[in-house]
Structure 1
Amino acid sequence: MTGTDPGDGSADGPGRDVRGRAGRWRDQAIAVGWLVLVWNLLWGEFTWGNLLGGILLGTAVLVFFPLPPVTFAGRLRPRGLLVFAVRFVVDLVRASVHVARIAVQPGYVPHSAIVAVRLRVRTDLNLALTAEALSLVPGTLIVDVDRASATLYAHVLDVRRRSDLAAAREQVRAVEQRIIEAVGSTAEVRRLRADPADKEPS
Protein backbone atom coordinates (compact mmCIF):
# COMPACT_ATOMS: atom_id res chain seq x y z
CA MET A 1 0.00 0.00 0.00
CA THR A 2 1.41 3.39 -0.99
CA GLY A 3 0.78 6.85 0.40
CA THR A 4 1.08 8.35 3.86
CA ASP A 5 -1.29 7.64 6.67
CA PRO A 6 -2.54 10.98 8.04
CA GLY A 7 -2.32 9.71 11.58
CA ASP A 8 1.29 8.54 11.47
CA GLY A 9 2.75 11.73 13.01
CA SER A 10 4.61 12.80 9.86
CA ALA A 11 6.47 16.09 9.61
CA ASP A 12 3.33 18.03 8.73
CA GLY A 13 0.95 16.26 11.11
CA PRO A 14 -0.38 17.52 14.43
CA GLY A 15 1.92 15.24 16.39
CA ARG A 16 4.92 17.19 15.16
CA ASP A 17 3.36 20.47 16.32
CA VAL A 18 2.60 19.04 19.77
CA ARG A 19 6.17 17.77 20.13
CA GLY A 20 7.46 21.14 18.90
CA ARG A 21 5.49 23.02 21.54
CA ALA A 22 6.63 20.57 24.21
CA GLY A 23 10.23 21.05 23.12
CA ARG A 24 9.91 24.82 23.28
CA TRP A 25 8.38 24.65 26.77
CA ARG A 26 11.21 22.34 27.85
CA ASP A 27 13.85 24.71 26.48
CA GLN A 28 12.19 27.68 28.21
CA ALA A 29 12.08 25.77 31.51
CA ILE A 30 15.79 24.88 31.20
CA ALA A 31 16.63 28.53 30.44
CA VAL A 32 14.69 29.72 33.50
CA GLY A 33 16.44 27.09 35.61
CA TRP A 34 19.88 28.31 34.58
CA LEU A 35 18.91 31.95 35.18
CA VAL A 36 17.65 31.05 38.67
CA LEU A 37 20.92 29.25 39.40
CA VAL A 38 23.02 32.20 38.22
CA TRP A 39 20.84 34.63 40.21
CA ASN A 40 21.36 32.67 43.44
CA LEU A 41 25.10 32.32 42.80
CA LEU A 42 25.40 36.07 42.28
CA TRP A 43 23.64 36.67 45.62
CA GLY A 44 25.95 34.15 47.25
CA GLU A 45 23.27 32.09 49.01
CA PHE A 46 20.26 29.93 48.25
CA THR A 47 17.13 31.19 50.02
CA TRP A 48 13.42 31.00 49.26
CA GLY A 49 13.45 34.73 48.53
CA ASN A 50 16.32 34.42 46.06
CA LEU A 51 14.67 31.38 44.47
CA LEU A 52 11.36 33.21 43.97
CA GLY A 53 13.15 36.36 42.78
CA GLY A 54 15.20 34.31 40.31
CA ILE A 55 12.09 32.65 38.89
CA LEU A 56 10.32 36.02 38.46
CA LEU A 57 13.40 37.65 36.95
CA GLY A 58 14.12 34.72 34.63
CA THR A 59 10.53 34.64 33.41
CA ALA A 60 10.55 38.41 32.84
CA VAL A 61 13.80 38.19 30.87
CA LEU A 62 12.40 35.50 28.56
CA VAL A 63 9.09 37.34 28.10
CA PHE A 64 10.29 40.93 27.60
CA PHE A 65 13.74 40.26 26.13
CA PRO A 66 13.25 37.19 23.95
CA LEU A 67 16.46 35.63 22.68
CA PRO A 68 16.99 33.40 19.66
CA PRO A 69 15.77 29.87 20.46
CA VAL A 70 18.48 27.69 21.98
CA THR A 71 17.63 24.01 21.68
CA PHE A 72 18.97 21.55 24.24
CA ALA A 73 20.01 18.56 22.13
CA GLY A 74 22.18 16.87 24.73
CA ARG A 75 21.45 14.70 27.72
CA LEU A 76 22.15 15.01 31.42
CA ARG A 77 24.96 12.78 32.70
CA PRO A 78 25.02 12.44 36.52
CA ARG A 79 28.72 11.60 36.67
CA GLY A 80 29.62 14.54 34.42
CA LEU A 81 27.41 16.89 36.45
CA LEU A 82 29.08 15.76 39.68
CA VAL A 83 32.57 16.26 38.20
CA PHE A 84 31.59 19.73 36.95
CA ALA A 85 30.11 20.74 40.33
CA VAL A 86 33.11 19.52 42.34
CA ARG A 87 35.66 21.14 40.04
CA PHE A 88 33.65 24.37 39.98
CA VAL A 89 33.68 24.56 43.79
CA VAL A 90 37.42 23.78 43.88
CA ASP A 91 38.17 26.46 41.26
CA LEU A 92 35.93 28.93 43.11
CA VAL A 93 37.71 28.44 46.44
CA ARG A 94 41.18 28.44 44.89
CA ALA A 95 40.52 31.60 42.86
CA SER A 96 38.94 33.37 45.85
CA VAL A 97 42.01 32.68 47.98
CA HIS A 98 44.30 33.85 45.17
CA VAL A 99 42.40 37.12 44.65
CA ALA A 100 42.27 37.72 48.42
CA ARG A 101 46.04 37.23 48.67
CA ILE A 102 46.61 39.76 45.88
CA ALA A 103 44.31 42.26 47.60
CA VAL A 104 46.18 42.16 50.92
CA GLN A 105 49.74 41.77 49.65
CA PRO A 106 51.54 45.10 50.22
CA GLY A 107 53.05 46.76 47.17
CA TYR A 108 52.04 44.04 44.72
CA VAL A 109 50.57 45.28 41.43
CA PRO A 110 49.01 42.44 39.40
CA HIS A 111 49.13 42.50 35.62
CA SER A 112 46.10 41.54 33.58
CA ALA A 113 45.57 40.25 30.06
CA ILE A 114 42.77 39.38 27.67
CA VAL A 115 42.95 35.98 26.01
CA ALA A 116 40.85 34.80 23.08
CA VAL A 117 39.77 31.17 23.03
CA ARG A 118 37.73 29.58 20.26
CA LEU A 119 35.39 26.92 21.61
CA ARG A 120 35.36 23.53 19.93
CA VAL A 121 31.60 22.92 20.26
CA ARG A 122 30.12 25.93 18.50
CA THR A 123 26.58 26.10 19.83
CA ASP A 124 24.86 29.03 21.53
CA LEU A 125 24.14 26.93 24.61
CA ASN A 126 27.75 25.87 25.05
CA LEU A 127 28.90 29.44 24.45
CA ALA A 128 26.54 30.79 27.13
CA LEU A 129 27.21 28.09 29.74
CA THR A 130 30.99 28.28 29.36
CA ALA A 131 30.97 32.08 29.58
CA GLU A 132 28.76 32.03 32.70
CA ALA A 133 30.82 29.36 34.46
CA LEU A 134 34.06 31.26 33.81
CA SER A 135 32.67 34.65 34.87
CA LEU A 136 31.45 33.28 38.21
CA VAL A 137 35.03 32.42 39.22
CA PRO A 138 36.94 35.38 40.74
CA GLY A 139 39.84 36.64 38.65
CA THR A 140 38.28 35.70 35.29
CA LEU A 141 35.68 37.72 33.42
CA ILE A 142 34.27 37.33 29.91
CA VAL A 143 34.49 40.78 28.31
CA ASP A 144 33.38 39.93 24.77
CA VAL A 145 31.90 37.10 22.75
CA ASP A 146 32.16 36.47 19.01
CA ARG A 147 29.13 34.33 18.29
CA ALA A 148 30.00 33.75 14.63
CA SER A 149 33.30 32.04 15.45
CA ALA A 150 32.32 30.87 18.98
CA THR A 151 35.23 32.80 20.49
CA LEU A 152 35.35 33.95 24.11
CA TYR A 153 37.51 36.89 25.17
CA ALA A 154 38.43 36.44 28.81
CA HIS A 155 40.02 39.04 31.12
CA VAL A 156 42.51 37.22 33.33
CA LEU A 157 43.98 38.65 36.53
CA ASP A 158 47.60 38.29 37.67
CA VAL A 159 49.44 37.33 34.48
CA ARG A 160 53.21 37.31 35.02
CA ARG A 161 54.59 35.18 32.19
CA ARG A 162 53.57 33.70 28.83
CA SER A 163 52.88 30.35 30.49
CA ASP A 164 50.07 32.03 32.46
CA LEU A 165 48.35 32.90 29.17
CA ALA A 166 48.58 29.29 28.04
CA ALA A 167 47.22 28.15 31.42
CA ALA A 168 44.28 30.58 31.09
CA ARG A 169 43.41 29.17 27.66
CA GLU A 170 43.62 25.62 29.02
CA GLN A 171 41.30 26.61 31.85
CA VAL A 172 38.68 27.80 29.36
CA ARG A 173 38.99 24.56 27.36
CA ALA A 174 38.77 22.48 30.55
CA VAL A 175 35.56 24.24 31.62
CA GLU A 176 34.08 23.71 28.16
CA GLN A 177 34.99 20.02 28.26
CA ARG A 178 33.41 19.49 31.68
CA ILE A 179 30.21 21.23 30.54
CA ILE A 180 29.95 19.11 27.39
CA GLU A 181 30.65 15.93 29.33
CA ALA A 182 27.89 16.92 31.76
CA VAL A 183 25.10 18.05 29.41
CA GLY A 184 26.35 17.65 25.84
CA SER A 185 25.15 15.23 23.20
CA THR A 186 27.06 12.08 22.30
CA ALA A 187 28.18 13.69 19.03
CA GLU A 188 29.48 16.76 20.90
CA VAL A 189 31.45 14.60 23.34
CA ARG A 190 33.01 12.70 20.43
CA ARG A 191 33.84 15.95 18.64
CA LEU A 192 35.50 17.34 21.76
CA ARG A 193 37.64 14.26 22.31
CA ALA A 194 38.61 14.12 18.63
CA ASP A 195 39.73 17.77 18.62
CA PRO A 196 41.49 18.39 21.96
CA ALA A 197 43.36 21.53 20.90
CA ASP A 198 41.85 23.84 18.32
CA LYS A 199 43.92 26.62 16.80
CA GLU A 200 43.85 30.02 18.45
CA PRO A 201 42.03 32.85 16.67
CA SER A 202 44.33 35.28 14.94
Structure 2
Amino acid sequence: MISTFVWLVVVWLMLWGSVDLGLVLLGCVVAVGVLVLYPLPPVRSRMLRRPHRLLRLGLFLLADLVTSGIRVAWEALRYGRKVRAAVIAVPVLSDEDYVIATAANLLSLGPGKFVLQLDRRERIFYVYALGVRSDAEVDRAREDVLGLQRRVIKAFGEPG
Protein backbone atom coordinates (compact mmCIF):
# COMPACT_ATOMS: atom_id res chain seq x y z
CA MET A 1 0.00 0.00 0.00
CA ILE A 2 2.88 2.36 0.73
CA SER A 3 4.37 1.67 -2.69
CA THR A 4 1.02 2.51 -4.30
CA PHE A 5 0.86 5.73 -2.28
CA VAL A 6 4.36 6.72 -3.37
CA TRP A 7 3.58 5.82 -6.97
CA LEU A 8 0.44 7.97 -6.94
CA VAL A 9 2.38 10.94 -5.56
CA VAL A 10 5.09 10.48 -8.21
CA VAL A 11 2.49 10.30 -10.97
CA TRP A 12 0.85 13.45 -9.56
CA LEU A 13 4.17 15.29 -9.69
CA MET A 14 4.87 14.06 -13.22
CA LEU A 15 1.46 15.29 -14.34
CA TRP A 16 2.23 18.78 -13.03
CA GLY A 17 5.78 18.71 -14.38
CA SER A 18 7.41 20.29 -11.35
CA VAL A 19 8.23 19.58 -7.73
CA ASP A 20 7.61 21.91 -4.83
CA LEU A 21 6.36 21.46 -1.29
CA GLY A 22 2.80 22.51 -2.09
CA LEU A 23 2.49 20.03 -4.97
CA VAL A 24 3.97 17.21 -2.89
CA LEU A 25 1.50 17.88 -0.06
CA LEU A 26 -1.42 18.13 -2.49
CA GLY A 27 -0.23 14.93 -4.17
CA CYS A 28 -0.22 13.21 -0.78
CA VAL A 29 -3.79 14.36 -0.14
CA VAL A 30 -4.90 13.16 -3.58
CA ALA A 31 -3.12 9.82 -3.11
CA VAL A 32 -4.78 9.26 0.27
CA GLY A 33 -8.14 10.18 -1.26
CA VAL A 34 -7.68 7.74 -4.12
CA LEU A 35 -6.61 4.93 -1.79
CA VAL A 36 -9.53 5.55 0.58
CA LEU A 37 -12.19 5.96 -2.12
CA TYR A 38 -10.91 3.17 -4.37
CA PRO A 39 -9.27 0.53 -2.20
CA LEU A 40 -7.32 -2.11 -4.05
CA PRO A 41 -7.61 -5.79 -3.23
CA PRO A 42 -4.51 -7.31 -1.67
CA VAL A 43 -2.05 -8.59 -4.26
CA ARG A 44 0.41 -11.27 -3.40
CA SER A 45 3.36 -10.74 -5.68
CA ARG A 46 5.58 -13.70 -6.42
CA MET A 47 8.14 -11.64 -8.33
CA LEU A 48 10.64 -11.41 -5.54
CA ARG A 49 10.29 -15.09 -4.68
CA ARG A 50 11.40 -16.14 -8.14
CA PRO A 51 13.95 -13.61 -9.41
CA HIS A 52 15.86 -16.22 -11.44
CA ARG A 53 12.68 -17.25 -13.29
CA LEU A 54 11.77 -13.61 -13.85
CA LEU A 55 15.25 -13.00 -15.26
CA ARG A 56 14.89 -16.03 -17.54
CA LEU A 57 11.54 -14.70 -18.75
CA GLY A 58 13.10 -11.30 -19.46
CA LEU A 59 15.99 -12.84 -21.40
CA PHE A 60 13.58 -15.03 -23.34
CA LEU A 61 11.49 -11.96 -24.22
CA LEU A 62 14.53 -10.05 -25.36
CA ALA A 63 15.62 -12.93 -27.61
CA ASP A 64 12.05 -13.36 -28.87
CA LEU A 65 11.79 -9.66 -29.75
CA VAL A 66 14.97 -9.84 -31.81
CA THR A 67 14.12 -13.10 -33.59
CA SER A 68 10.51 -12.05 -34.20
CA GLY A 69 11.65 -8.74 -35.66
CA ILE A 70 14.05 -10.51 -37.99
CA ARG A 71 11.38 -13.06 -38.97
CA VAL A 72 8.79 -10.35 -39.74
CA ALA A 73 11.33 -8.32 -41.72
CA TRP A 74 12.30 -11.41 -43.71
CA GLU A 75 8.64 -12.21 -44.45
CA ALA A 76 8.02 -8.64 -45.61
CA LEU A 77 11.12 -8.58 -47.82
CA ARG A 78 10.62 -12.03 -49.26
CA TYR A 79 6.85 -12.05 -49.87
CA GLY A 80 5.89 -8.36 -49.88
CA ARG A 81 2.12 -8.04 -50.13
CA LYS A 82 1.72 -11.81 -50.28
CA VAL A 83 2.69 -12.38 -46.66
CA ARG A 84 0.41 -14.97 -45.13
CA ALA A 85 -1.00 -15.11 -41.64
CA ALA A 86 -3.29 -17.29 -39.59
CA VAL A 87 -5.54 -17.08 -36.58
CA ILE A 88 -4.61 -19.91 -34.26
CA ALA A 89 -6.58 -21.23 -31.28
CA VAL A 90 -4.23 -21.90 -28.36
CA PRO A 91 -5.33 -23.27 -24.98
CA VAL A 92 -4.91 -21.01 -21.96
CA LEU A 93 -2.82 -22.84 -19.36
CA SER A 94 -3.69 -20.86 -16.22
CA ASP A 95 -6.81 -19.88 -14.27
CA GLU A 96 -5.22 -16.81 -12.68
CA ASP A 97 -6.30 -13.55 -14.31
CA TYR A 98 -2.98 -11.76 -13.81
CA VAL A 99 -1.05 -14.66 -15.35
CA ILE A 100 -3.38 -14.77 -18.36
CA ALA A 101 -3.18 -10.99 -18.80
CA THR A 102 0.61 -11.01 -18.46
CA ALA A 103 0.97 -13.81 -21.03
CA ALA A 104 -1.39 -12.07 -23.48
CA ASN A 105 0.41 -8.74 -23.12
CA LEU A 106 3.88 -10.23 -23.45
CA LEU A 107 2.78 -12.21 -26.49
CA SER A 108 1.42 -9.07 -28.13
CA LEU A 109 4.57 -7.11 -27.29
CA GLY A 110 6.69 -8.47 -30.10
CA PRO A 111 6.11 -8.25 -33.84
CA GLY A 112 4.42 -11.06 -35.70
CA LYS A 113 1.95 -12.35 -33.10
CA PHE A 114 -0.77 -10.86 -30.97
CA VAL A 115 -3.83 -11.98 -29.08
CA LEU A 116 -6.98 -11.12 -31.01
CA GLN A 117 -9.40 -12.52 -28.47
CA LEU A 118 -9.49 -14.41 -25.22
CA ASP A 119 -12.37 -16.80 -24.70
CA ARG A 120 -12.30 -17.00 -20.91
CA ARG A 121 -15.07 -19.57 -20.64
CA GLU A 122 -13.49 -22.00 -23.10
CA ARG A 123 -9.95 -21.04 -22.01
CA ILE A 124 -8.65 -20.25 -25.50
CA PHE A 125 -6.40 -17.52 -26.87
CA TYR A 126 -7.10 -16.64 -30.49
CA VAL A 127 -3.70 -15.53 -31.75
CA TYR A 128 -2.93 -13.76 -35.02
CA ALA A 129 0.40 -15.09 -36.32
CA LEU A 130 2.21 -13.57 -39.27
CA GLY A 131 4.24 -15.69 -41.71
CA VAL A 132 2.31 -18.94 -41.32
CA ARG A 133 2.33 -20.92 -44.56
CA SER A 134 2.01 -24.56 -43.49
CA ASP A 135 0.61 -26.83 -40.82
CA ALA A 136 4.10 -27.20 -39.37
CA GLU A 137 4.35 -23.42 -38.95
CA VAL A 138 0.91 -23.38 -37.28
CA ASP A 139 2.16 -26.00 -34.83
CA ARG A 140 5.36 -24.02 -34.23
CA ALA A 141 3.41 -20.82 -33.55
CA ARG A 142 1.10 -22.69 -31.15
CA GLU A 143 4.12 -24.14 -29.32
CA ASP A 144 5.68 -20.66 -29.11
CA VAL A 145 2.55 -19.35 -27.39
CA LEU A 146 2.36 -22.34 -25.05
CA GLY A 147 6.06 -21.96 -24.21
CA LEU A 148 5.58 -18.30 -23.34
CA GLN A 149 2.62 -19.17 -21.13
CA ARG A 150 4.69 -21.80 -19.31
CA ARG A 151 7.47 -19.28 -18.67
CA VAL A 152 4.98 -16.73 -17.33
CA ILE A 153 3.43 -19.37 -15.07
CA LYS A 154 6.89 -20.32 -13.76
CA ALA A 155 7.72 -16.67 -13.09
CA PHE A 156 4.40 -15.50 -11.63
CA GLY A 157 2.01 -18.44 -11.20
CA GLU A 158 1.37 -20.85 -8.39
CA PRO A 159 4.36 -22.82 -7.09
CA GLY A 160 4.90 -26.12 -8.72
Give the TM-score normalised by structure 1: 0.56
Identity of counterpart residues, as a percentage?
28
Paired residues, what number? 132
For 1:117 and 1:103, locate their aligned partners in 2 and report how far apart those are by CA, in whole Å.
25
Report the equivalent of 1:164.
137
For 2:69 and 2:42, locate their aligned partners in 1 and report how far apart those are by CA, in whole Å.
32
Report the equivalent of 2:119.
146
Whether 2:59 is the aligned partner of 1:86: answer: yes
Matched ranges for 1:178-197 at <5 A: 178-186=151-159, 190=160
Stretches of structure 1 lacking an aligned partner (at least 5 in a row): 1-24, 33-51, 54-58, 191-202
Report the equivalent of 2:93.
120
Once the 2 structures are TM-superposed, how far is the Cα of residue 150 of structure 1 from its aligned partner? 2.8
Once the 2 structures are TM-superposed, how far is the Cα of residue 182 of structure 1 from its aligned partner? 1.2
For 1:135 and 1:129, locate their aligned partners in 2 and report how far apart those are by CA, in whole Å.
10
Q: Which amino acid aligns with 1:116?
A: A
CA contact (8 A) 1:126 1:179 kept: yes
Q: 112-121 vs 72-81, which deviates more?
A: 72-81
CA contact (8 A) 1:116 1:153 kept: yes
Give the TM-score normalised by structure 2: 0.69
Stretches of structure 2 lacking an aligned partner (at least 5 in a row): 8-13, 16-30
Q: Which runs of at least 4 in structure 1 moved beyond 3 Å after TM superposition?
A: 68-76
Counterpart among 118, 133, 139 of residue 106 in structure 2: 133
CA contact (8 A) 1:95 1:138 kept: yes
For 2:92 and 2:44, locate their aligned partners in 1 and report how far apart those are by CA, in whole Å.
17
For 1:97 and 1:127, locate their aligned partners in 2 and report how far apart those are by CA, in whole Å.
27
For 1:137 and 1:178, locate their aligned partners in 2 and report how far apart those are by CA, in whole Å.
16
Matched ranges for 1:16-165 at <5 A: 25=1, 29=4, 71-72=43-44, 74-75=46-47, 76-105=49-78, 109-165=82-138
Task: Give the RMSD, CA atoms, in angstroms.
Answer: 3.1
For 1:143 and 1:122, locate their aligned partners in 2 and report how far apart those are by CA, in whole Å.
19
